[in-house]
Structure 1
Amino acid sequence: MKHLKKLLVAGLMFAGITSQAQDSNNPWAISFGANGVDTKVSSVGNDSPKWIQLGNARENWNFIPSVSYLNLSRYVGDGFSFGLTGSVNKIDKMAYRVPGTGSTDVVVNPGDLSYYAADATIKYSFMEMIGTKWFDPSLNLGGGYTFFGDASAGTVNGGLGLTFWFSEQVGLQLQSTYKHSFDDNRVGNIDVPSHMQHFAGLTFKFGGKDTDGDGIYDKDDACPEVAGLPEFKGCPDTDKDGIQDSEDACPEEVGTKELNGCPDTDGDGIINSEDACPEDKGTKMMNGCPDADGDGVADKDDKCPTVAGAKDNAGCPWPDTDGDGVADKDDKCPTVAGTVANNGCPEVSDDTMKKLNDYGKTILFNSGKASFQKQTIPVLQAMTAILKEYPTAKFSLEGHTDNSGSDALNQKLSEERAAAVKSFLIENGIDASRLSSKGFGESMPVDSNKTAKGKANNRRVEVKLVK
């Protein structure tokens, strides 16, 4: 039975739990080290324990030079943790009160008694309360079962601890626990006296999961699969522009918050990826490119960037040779000033038409024929010059006669004379497509045929503007 108890204690040592200053990130902690047992605390009366007998520790403490305790604990929240402690020792120093002296103690060897203990503990850490990350005082309460040689008894425990954390997960643990036994006697192998047990060792926190290795535990990591930064709850900021990748429209290029993390090299408010001219400040209308002359053609595409021009002429103004305000490409008379309404060509005025018809009245034909008299040639040349001033205007030449001769003869003669004028004009540079001719014979007199003067007036060639 005794050996069964010892095996039980040994099992508790390796599967036991003790409270440490672990937290919700690393809820588990394991520690190991050496322990010392001091029985002097009860030799002067169990009612007034003396916590640490440092002055004569070598005389009173029981100690074995090896790892003699193992602890494992679980954090339960709000600074509290729970666990069990398993420890071993050898009792070769046991303090006794000398009968009749009241307070005089002697230390004897009770027979190198084996010591085993298993203790359950609830511990409260003050580290969070005092606001440090390395200095960790604590208070613990609990109970356990202790073997002194063949003797065994339950104890009620209470103690203080102090841990110095070298890092988030590794620390040096110091702890002293008073174990109150309800055995009143102090006979080795028969009784378990009240005693102090002191611990010193290393403690390690563990159990926290950090999949991406960024130092932020998965439970607090918004991006547990990708290494990130604390300020973004574990999410990455690849370009280090202060905007986490999940909210960064350009995660690999340094940008601004105003542009959702995208860069705008020229500062025109248009991100580089949408800016046709990322190095030159431009406008949204020009897709980020400048337009110095404001003609709607970006400077990079404008062959005349300082002069407003036409989009369909690469940003350059169309030429206007005659300066009439109608570009040559649209000007049907590019070398003659005209009007916009007449497609850049000059409009034939009433005065011009009067002048042409005045000339037409003075055209002299040989009698009864469609041939010109010599003195008429200058008149025809003058008419030609006028028609050249209106290169797109079209005209109708209408021949008329007096009533001398038959109607049929006069009709034929009027047609031939009008055609003769047309031929002269064409031969002297007027486009044939601009001219037409017809005769009216004697049917449209403008004067009386009873006088020589009237007949002369009726023999004429009229010029009409074709619109």
Structure 2
Amino acid sequence: MKNLSRLLFAMLFVLVYSNANAQDKNNPWQITIATNAVDAYPSGDGAPFSETIFSKYFDVDNYNILPSLSSISVSKYVGDGFSFGIAGSLNKIENWGEDANGDAINVDDLSYYAADGTIKYSIGEALDWNTFDPYVGVGGGYTWVDEVGAGTLNGTLGFNLWFSENVGLTVQSAYKHAFEDYLNTHFQHTVGISIRFGGADTDGDGIYDKDDACPDVPGLEAFNGCPDTDGDGIEDSKDSCPNEAGLAEFNGCPDTDGDGIADKDDSCPTVAGLKALSGCPDADGDGVRDGDDKCPNTPGAPANNGCPWPDTDGDGVLDKDDKCPDVVGTVANNGCPEVTEEVQKTLNEYAKTILFDTGKSSIKSQSESVLGDIIKILNEYPTAKFTVEGHTDSVGSEKLNQRLSDSRANSVKEYLVSHGIDAFRLSSLGYGESKPIDTNKTKKGRANNRRVEINLVK
């Protein structure tokens, strides 16, 4: 019993150590609690693989069986199908080999203790078998029969039959060759329940760290242990909106208004709209979203805040293009009225009546009325440009007449400008006596030649 106490203490130490040092492989530790049977046949030298060694292998009459849990082993997976384990067992021996006649040698209830270490190789892992896991092993140990002990060289063959991820049945047979003559070479068979454990699950999501793509964050088996915070079926690492349930087509983001634009990209996420307008609506279809459209129910121009351009004077030219938005004009003249031949004629009839002091460019006061009429006409055509032309008769020198015509044309221009006509619209030019419209031989003819004309610049 002293040896048994030592054995159990050693096994307890191994168990505590294994629990305190769980590894990062799935279930690297295995504990097997079993019943063992000791078969002392073959007896004698027990030469390995002799022709008689297995002749009574299945003769259970030779087995010494302690009808209780009499063996415990602990093993640790070390990688590539290999594991290392230690085992302790006890038994009660009644039959210890055979005599020369083949009869069992009976003994008086000898105690049997063994402590063994084994390196095992999993054939099942090599063949990628999950449920049925055969293995082979080799190792050594020390066996006591009563108070006599000797070292042994062990060969092991067995299998695990796993009922679940962690619980299974283990059946094993070990051939134990003794190094001392006083201890028979023998078989030790065990049948028991095995428990696998020790896989690390840092985040507690039920998925071992080895298989967990997100070992520090609780997740789902469907995503290899990674989370899906919003529960939309898209793991957080691939979800552009991990905290809002959304659709796969939008990488996990929602589309509240159903307009085909994810809320994160939708400037109007609660109202169905157009992609071209960042998800906002355009009721009148003018390309200006309703929130920015001053006329949301009337198609208009984006440049005019979604409203149609006005045509104040109704001449068919929009105000934005109309140079004369308050005056009816023509399209050809950018919305401004065109100077007709009749108007041109009227202007010159007025202009011919402008009177100057004799031989001077100063305008007589009685011409102010006709100049007022001319100004009214010019204001009716605010974009038209005119040339004020001065003409003289042939009396006097040509040089003097040229100078006088320049001065009179300029005098009229300055008068018009001083009374509100844009200087940009007017120019002046004197022709002297070079363009008569009547004869200079008569008084009446010369009077007609002394004139001012206001002509449209085309």
In structure 1, distance between residues paired with 2:42 and 2:342? 143
TM-score, structure 2 normalization: 0.68
In structure 2, distance between residues paired with 1:457 and 1:61? 156
Offset of residue 288 of structure 1:
4.2
- Residue 448 (structure 2) aligns with: 457
TM-score, structure 1 normalization: 0.67
Decide whether aligned partners of structure 1 residues 175 and 158 sit closer, same or farther in structure 2, where only a CA change above 3 A counts.
farther
Q: 2:196 aligns with which of 190, 201, 204?
A: 204
Q: Which amino acid aligns with 1:204?
A: R
2:29 matched to 1:29? Answer: yes
- Residue 226 (structure 1) aligns with: 217
Q: Secondary structure at the match of 1:352?
A: helix
Q: Which amino acid aligns with 2:84?
A: F
Decide whether aligned partners of structure 1 residues 315 and 97 sit closer, same or farther in structure 2, where only a CA change above 3 A counts.
same
Decide whether aligned partners of structure 1 residues 8 and 447 sit closer, same or farther in structure 2, where only a CA change above 3 A counts.
same
In structure 2, distance between residues paired with 1:182 and 1:274? 80
Offset of residue 85 of structure 1:
0.8
In structure 1, distance between residues paired with 2:14 and 2:254? 58
Q: Which amino acid aligns with 1:138?
A: Y
Q: 2:11 aligns with which of 13, 30, 34?
A: 13
Q: 2:91 aligns with which of 74, 89, 92?
A: 89
Q: Which amino acid aligns with 2:151?
A: G
Query: Does the 8 Å contact 2:311/2:325 carry over to 1?
Result: yes
In structure 1, distance between residues paired with 2:337 and 2:219? 77
Query: Does the 8 Å contact 2:23/2:200 carry over to 1?
Result: no
Offset of residue 320 of structure 1:
0.9
In structure 2, distance between residues paired with 1:401 and 1:39? 154
In structure 1, distance between residues paired with 2:310 and 2:457? 30
Offset of residue 24 of structure 1:
7.5
Q: Which amino acid aligns with 2:146?
A: G
Query: Does the 8 Å contact 1:16/1:83 carry over to 2?
Result: no
- Residue 50 (structure 1) aligns with: 57
In structure 2, distance between residues paired with 1:316 and 1:393? 31
Q: Secondary structure at the match of 2:25?
A: coil
Decide whether aligned partners of structure 1 residues 313 and 24 sit closer, same or farther in structure 2, where only a CA change above 3 A counts.
closer
In structure 1, distance between residues paired with 2:385 and 2:178? 137
Deviation readout 1:86-138 (Å, 9 max, x if unpaired): 123344x33664775x44x47x561x433210112232334335655344343
Q: Secondary structure at the match of 1:33?
A: strand
Q: Which amino acid aligns with 1:124?
A: Y
- Residue 151 (structure 1) aligns with: 148
Q: Secondary structure at the match of 1:200?
A: strand
Offset of residue 346 of structure 1:
1.7
Offset of residue 314 of structure 1:
1.4
Report 1:372-383 matches (<5 A).
Answer: none
Q: 1:171 aligns with which of 145, 167, 174?
A: 167
In structure 2, distance between residues paired with 1:299 and 1:192? 100
Offset of residue 241 of structure 1:
5.7
- Residue 135 (structure 2) aligns with: 138
Number of equivalent positions: 428
- Residue 282 (structure 1) aligns with: 274
Decide whether aligned partners of structure 1 residues 453 and 298 sit closer, same or farther in structure 2, where only a CA change above 3 A counts.
same
In structure 1, distance between residues paired with 2:346 and 2:188? 140
Aligned-residue identity in percent: 48
Decide whether aligned partners of structure 1 residues 319 and 184 sit closer, same or farther in structure 2, where only a CA change above 3 A counts.
closer
Contiguous gaps of at least 5 residues in structure 1: none
- Residue 110 (structure 2) aligns with: 113
Contiguous gaps of at least 5 residues in structure 2: 16-21, 45-51, 356-363
Offset of residue 73 of structure 1:
1.2
In structure 2, distance between residues paired with 1:337 and 1:47? 125
In structure 2, distance between residues paired with 1:68 and 1:62? 7
In structure 2, distance between residues paired with 1:320 and 1:222? 69
Offset of residue 211 of structure 1:
1.9
